[in-house]
Amino acid sequence: MWSIDRAYIDGAFVPVQGSERLEIANPATEQTIGTVTLANREDAKRAIAAANRAQPVLAASTKAQRIEMLRQLEAAVLARTDQIRDATIEEYGGPLARAQWVSNYASQCFATTAQALRDYAFERRLGEATVVMEPVGVAGLIAPWNAAAGSICSKLASAVAAGCASVIKPSELGPLQAQVVTEALHDAGLPAGVFNVLLGRGNDVGDEISTSPDIAKISFTGSTQTGKLIARAGVDTMKRVSLALSGKSATVVLDDADLAAVLPMALNAAFMNNGQACVAGTRLLVPHVHMAEAIEHLQAAVAAMRVGDPRDPATAIGPLASKAQFERVQHFIRRGLAQGAMLVAGGEGRPNGLGRGWFVQPTVFAGVHNHMDIARQEIFGPVLSAIGYGDDDEAIAIANDSAYGLQAYVFSSQPERALRVASQLRAGTVLVNRIVPELSAPFGGVKQSGIGREFGVFGMEAFLEPKTIAAANNFA
Ligand code: NAD
């Protein structure tokens, strides 16, 4: 049984002052596997103070020293990759391949950030001025449960590269991942206070971070709803705010694409992480003329998907993270039916043979109109909506007719045509004939999917602020 009752403050694991306890359950079995005692505002204040004490030294560190810190963090997290993977599987049922990818990414992001830092010019001349990129100050890093390790490590990498000490608040719904990652980060041996980690409620610890005058910057990943609360809470102290938010991504299959080759990838884009991914491509745009054939491919592919024990390498889809997630998905499946969408795979309830655990049936709707709730709202489960279109312009218009704009996917056999469509899609990232991201390139959303970018040089710049120094030529 896990018992997590410490926060990481000023370089040490210390008992939290908060007293609220939550049970941690394995979503594949619904069995309790431990408890977590949440930190409170007093703990957050201590963590913020520790980060502020560390800030001047970190801000004054050289590029070489920061690269060395990133190298130490990379090595420490790499050494715990398997533990991070196992915690991801145990805590929210991430299937093995995805959990492995996420835990590899947790160490890789330190390496990609170190590379960006190596090549970065902190000082440049513009006209008669020298412009210096300075650390913005102490940062609050607030992470979701569905990408805990990756989100924590990627934000921390950018903050350290820029010279910002941080207070990290992982989701209270991801305590195992947070604990294992924090133990790894501690092993890196960074100076005390450079980063501090505490698990607490959003409206308590999260709010303390968002409103504290001693936090200069918030880097948040989570839902659009919470992002707005944080942006509002931060404005009184004029915080710099980066928000990586929800999505409802479109996958555009052009009429020249080889359906047999691309639809498995499109399904993967929709159902990755059991459908609990911000970048899930949950609106599948298929030409009307190919829709019947596409449905047959999708039905066959879904029928071949194994739902079950997330530790089994043969499993494609594990359980959803919680009962709340399970019920949310059931609600949307009922909503799709009520609004007239055609169920072509899956449906309500658990898959046959799985009586326990928050397992849902991978579900595909066809005949979906883009105005239906299942096409407009983020479901956060393995539910795909196939939407028909006439020509490329209509596909672009449907893809762009969304409140969100995080990621989009285009599949085609003609590179120039695919790139023409990609250039017209309103999304922070467009992946063409692939679903694997480029980790050195900026990642973030347009519209309701967020403000600002993460990863690589753009991620680091989100923690920097330019200062202009223009001196007269003569001091006489
Ligand atoms: P959430 O918004 O419920 O919570 C995210 C974090 O915010 C948690 O740590 C939570 O405790 C904290 N929080 C909640 N209320 C707060 C408040 N008032 N002040 C400060 N902090 C507060 O999101 P979630 O359910 O953990 O994650 C799923 C959502 O995150 C989905 O919408 C998904 O699309 C999105 N997401 C986006 C990205 C991206 O990069 N764009 C990546 C992963 C997840």
- pLDDT tens for each residue of the chain, 476 residues long: 999 999 999 999 999 999 999 999 999 999 999 999 999 999 999 999 999 999 999 999 999 999 999 999 999 999 999 999 999 999 989 999 999 999 999 999 999 999 999 999 999 999 999 999 999 999 999 999 998 999 999 999 999 999 999 999 999 999 999 999 999 999 999 999 999 999 999 999 999 999 999 999 999 999 999 999 999 999 999 999 999 999 999 999 999 999 999 999 999 999 999 999 999 999 999 999 999 999 999 999 999 999 999 999 999 999 999 999 999 999 999 999 999 999 999 999 999 999 999 999 999 999 999 999 999 999 999 999 999 999 999 999 999 999 999 999 999 999 999 999 999 999 999 999 999 999 999 999 999 999 999 999 999 999 999 999 999 988 76
Residues 277 and 234 in one domain: no
User: So what's the pLDDT on residue 281?
Assistant: 98
* 475 is a domain residue: no
The answer to whether residues 404 and 455 belong to one domain is no
Q: Does residue 115 sit in the same domain as residue 197?
A: yes
> Is 225 domain-assigned?
yes
| Domain-located, residue 161 | yes
Other Cβ atoms closer than 10 A to 224: 18
229 lines ligand 1 (CB under 6 A): yes
Q: What is the pLDDT of residues 90-127, one digit of tens each?
A: 998 999 999 999 999 999 999 999 999 999 999 999 99
Give the sheet arrangement for strand 217-221, strand by strand.
Answer: 12-15, 6-9, 195-197, 166-169, 139-142, 217-221, 240-244, 450-451
Give burial (CB, 10 Å; 0-12/13-18/19+) of 324: exposed
Answer yes or no: do 240 and 334 share one domain: no
241 phi, psi to nearest 5 deg: -130, 125
Say if residue 353 is in the same domain as residue 395.
Answer: yes
For ligand 1, say whether the CB of 230 is within 6 Å of any of its atoms. Answer: yes
Q: Is 437 in the pocket of ligand 1 (CB under 6 A)?
A: no
Number of other residues whose CB lies within 10 A of the CB of residue 303 = 10
The reply to whether 187 falls in a domain is yes
In this prediction, residue 147 carries a pLDDT of 86
- For residue 474, is it within any domain? no
Token pair of 65, please? Answer: 């020293």
Please count the helices (runs of H) and the strands (runs of E) in the chain. Answer: 15, 23
Evaluate whether residue 473 is within a structural domain: no
237: helix, strand or coil: coil
Same-domain check for residues 120 and 216: yes
Q: Are residues 22 and 127 part of one domain?
A: yes
How big, in percent rounded to 5, are the helix, strand and coil portions of the chain? 40, 25, 35
Q: Which pLDDT does position 473 carry in this prediction?
A: 84
- Co-location of 181 and 295 in the same domain: no
Coil, helix or strand at residue 131: strand
Distances (CA, A) of 342 to 33, 265, 347: 39, 22, 10
The closest residue, in CA terms, to atom 9 on ligand 1 is 171
The sign of the torsion formed by the CA atoms of 295, 297, 299, 302 equals negative
Ligand 1 site-directed mutation target among 98, 102, 171, most atoms within 8 Å of CB: 171
Q: What is the pLDDT of residue 362?
A: 98
Same domain, 277 and 150: no
**What's the 338 CA to ligand 1 centre distance in angstroms?**
29
Same domain, residue pair 291 and 175? no
The response to whether residue 142 sits with its C-beta less than 6 Å from ligand 1 reads yes
**Cα 246 to middle of ligand 1, angstroms:** 9
235 and 337 housed in the same domain: no
Is residue 52 assigned to a domain? Answer: yes
Does residue 273 fall inside a structural domain? yes
Torsion on CA atoms 206, 210, 212, 216, rounded to nearest 10: 130
Bridge pairing between strands 464-470 and 129-135: antiparallel
- Ligand 1 mean position to 299 CA, how many Å? 32
Q: In sequence order, what are the residues at sequence separation of 6 or more whose Cβ sits closer than 8 angstroms to the Cβ of residue 74?
A: 107, 108, 110, 111, 114
Report the alpha-carbon distance of residue 274 to residue 442 in Å, rounded: 25
Instruction: Give me the CATH number covering residue 409.
Output: 3.40.309.10
Q: Are residues 345 and 223 in the same domain?
A: no
Per the structure, how many domains does the chain have?
2
Q: Six-digit token pair at 409?
A: 């996917």
Q: Which CATH number do you get for residue 186?
A: 3.40.605.10
Q: What whole-number distance in Å separates Cα of residue 211 and Cα of residue 303?
A: 49
Look at ligand 1, atom 12, and give the residue with the nearest C-alpha. 202
Which pLDDT belongs to residue 476?
Answer: 63
Range of the domain at 24: 2-245+449-468
